[in-house]
Chain A
Amino acid sequence: MQFAQVTDQMEPAQIYQKEEIAQKQNNLIEFQDITKIYGKGQAAMRALDRINLSIRQGEFVAMMGPSGSGKSTCLNILGCIDTATQGTYRFEGVQVENLSRDHRAMLRRHFLGFIFQGFNLLNRTSALENVELPLIYRKMPAKLRREKAMEALSAVGLEKWACHTPSELSGGQQQRVAIARAIVGNPRILLADEPTGNLDSVRSTEIMEMLLEFNRQDSITIVMVTHEPEMAVYADRQIHFQDGRIITDSQNDHMITDSQKGASL
């Protein structure tokens, strides 16, 4: 399988030379009737039920809803690590269902950053090396890679902890390493599954400020799953899930958001 030489300036559609270049769209992400069914027959479980959703470049979206409502499933499909049972998903106009497993991996490698629920850092591997990981798969030369990883670590305030392994770091620090790893490749879109799930409110606020800064200054699109309303207010837009469906999809009133943020600081 041959891939085109990929640069950060490239459009995803250009990676797949065989794909017809889709018409340029405003939407970074477009879900049409996305359905995810787990299991078969009697045991079949509809985790997502005909979801329609568009996310524009630069948006900061919070996905909310009770446990088991399908938020993580939706995020995993967005992140191309899971595939929908039915429906179409276009990423910058490229229809993801038509891509091979390796093509989807290339999409993740070059355009997506993932902050997993529960960090998923590599054990017994230093923070710096964890952050370097996406760059290794991008075949970046070792020296440049190290520099970029250090930059990302300082962006999350961990430059002093570069050589420590995850087991030597606190939960908040581990989460920040995970964030550094997600943003080090300068992705189009950052996907975060409950990034503040295991953290106290002070640490959570720090993390949210950090995400907000990436969104505002580096114009990285962010989709974040959370069940905490205090975190959701940082987003521009809140989507509520229930039983695999979207029940509300609303823009945040930024006047209110900003004052609330001021209060929480």
Chain B
Amino acid sequence: MMLWETYLLAQRTILRNVLRSSLTILGIVIGVAAVITMVTLGSGATAKVTSDISELGSNLLHIRPGQGMRGPGGARSRADDFTIEDATAIKNSVAGLKAVAPISDASSQAIYGSANWATSVTGATNAFLTVQGWQVADGRAFSDGELKAGKGVCLLGNTVRKELFGNESPIGKAMRLGKISFKVIGTLKEKGQSNFGNDQDDIVIIPLRTLQRRMAGNSDVRTIIVSVNDGVSTEVVSSDIEALLRERRGIKSGQDDDFHVRNMKELIDTLTGTTTVMTALLSAVAGVSLLVGGIGIMNIMMVSVTERTREIGTRLAIGALEREVLMQFLVESVVLASFGGLIGIAIGLCAAAIGAQLIGVPFVFRPGIVAAAFFFSGAVGVTFGYFPAKKAAHLDPIEALRYE
């Protein structure tokens, strides 16, 4: 029998009992729909995380003392902080940098009149405004003199401004951070919540030197943020900085770094890694349901072979070859399974489109996964249809004809 004839025959047999066929492929439908939904939503989540982080600035490097994402204790607690000189050295000897912003921070109580607000204070230079994309709303940024001398001046984030000053204009007013008095020279444009849910506008920026001398009482730099020029590889810059800092901190070769340079790409990889693992786990669960679907098909095909024993006997007696009968049943189960796959894909894509709306991630159509799901369901048909088909093909014509 030609393949096309076999296909038509299979299609007719399947459509002859629509209810049974639907129940047979239900497992495959659910399995494929689950896989498609999971993978599509997972891809959407990954795309969202990636674009969110890129918005933060994918060309930023954060340099901190300690050994990065290794949890508390260990090298981090013993590692020395950086100094302004480290930042200057990076600026002078590493190529391809747009800005180098050394910062330190502290928590403090901001006080103006009777208003009182706990906030975080960042000691920085104007480079910090550049790398973090802060814009001055009112007033001005720091002058060189204020930075060098470590003057008591500050820039207020929008939240702090509202909490302390309400509708009053803060420019030129005197306020206190803890016991130290500061003059407000400018306010920052509102940024809103960060992608990780914290309020970015809850910030007071003062000159780095002011923070070192008058609040922390040292000359430490906690973090150096570096922004890399467009088109320059962050990997190259980051290894240049590592080499430089190892030398400056006197780390012998073979010893581990006591600082780390983290770029946003790493962060993206870490976060998308999490969603990828989640997607993989959920897909594995979905895959199991696909397997169960396959067993459902096998079950019904076995029943079908038994029910159609006389038909098989007739075909064999008329002159069908074993392999033709095998093909007939194999094609039938493959058509069933692929059909289930198609329905599953359609349902999965619809569910993913709705789900993407609900959880606020983009709908990412992945043709590769759709094709793979389709072929996989076909393969399930072959695998689980083979045994029943073999059983049909091996029937003895005379016994099959006599079967009641």
Contact = CB atoms under 8 A, between A and B. Distances in A.
Contact of A109 (B2, B5, B314, B319): B319
Contacts of A109: 318-320
A209 interface: no
Interface string B302-313: 000000001101
A81 B401 contact: yes
Given A81-B397, A81-B398, A120-B401, A139 B2 contact: yes
A102 B319 contact: no
B322 A134 contact: no
B16 interface: yes
Contact of A76 (B16, B315, B398): B398
A81 B320 CA distance: 12
Contacts of B16: 124
Given A120-B401, A136-B1, A136-B5, A79 B318 contact: no
Given A81-B401, A82-B398, A120-B310, A105 B316 contact: yes
A123 B12 CA distance: 12
Contacts, number: 61
B398 A137 contact: no
A120 B319 contact: no
A79 B321 contact: no
A106 interface: yes
A116 interface: yes
B321 to A, nearest CB: 5
A112 B318 CA distance: 8
A116 B1 CA distance: 22
Contacts of A142: 5
Contact of A102 (B314, B315, B322, B398): B322
Contacts of B52: none
A122 B321 contact: no
B313 A120 contact: yes
Interface in A120-151: 120-124, 133-134, 136-139, 142
A114 B313 CA distance: 12
Interface in B59-85: none
Contact of A133 (B315, B321, B398): B315
B115 interface: no
Contact of A116 (B311, B315, B317): B317
Contacts of A123: 311
Given A116-B401, A137-B324, A79 B317 contact: yes
A110 B319 contact: yes
A137 B320 contact: yes
B314 to A, nearest CB: 5
B321 A105 contact: yes
A234 B137 CA distance: 114
Nearest to B317: A81
A123 B2 CA distance: 22
Nearest to A108: B319
B314 A108 contact: no
Contacts of A164: none
B314 A120 contact: yes
Contacts of B311: 122-123
B314 A137 contact: no
Interface in A169-199: 181
A216 interface: no
Interface in A77-115: 79, 81-82, 101-102, 105-110, 112, 114
A139 to B, nearest CB: 7
A224 B319 CA distance: 20
A114 B316 CA distance: 11
Nearest to B318: A134
Nearest to A122: B311
Contact of A137 (B1, B322, B397): B1
Interface in B104-148: none
A109 B319 CA distance: 4
Contacts of A79: 317
A80 to B, nearest CB: 9
Given A116-B317, A116-B401, A120-B401, A101 B1 contact: no
A79 B2 CA distance: 25
Nearest to A134: B318
27 contacts: A76-B398, A79-B317, A81-B316, A81-B317, A81-B398, A105-B319, A105-B321, A106-B319, A106-B321, A108-B317, A108-B318, A109-B319, A110-B319, A114-B317, A114-B318, A116-B314, A116-B317, A116-B401, A120-B314, A120-B317, A120-B401, A122-B314, A134-B319, A136-B1, A137-B324, A139-B2, A181-B318
The 6 A-B pairs at the shortest CB distance, nearest first, are namely A109-B319, A108-B319, A81-B397, A82-B398, A120-B314, A81-B317
Given A81-B397, A121-B314, A136-B1, 7 more contacts: A105-B322, A116-B314, A133-B315, A133-B318, A137-B324, A139-B1, A181-B318
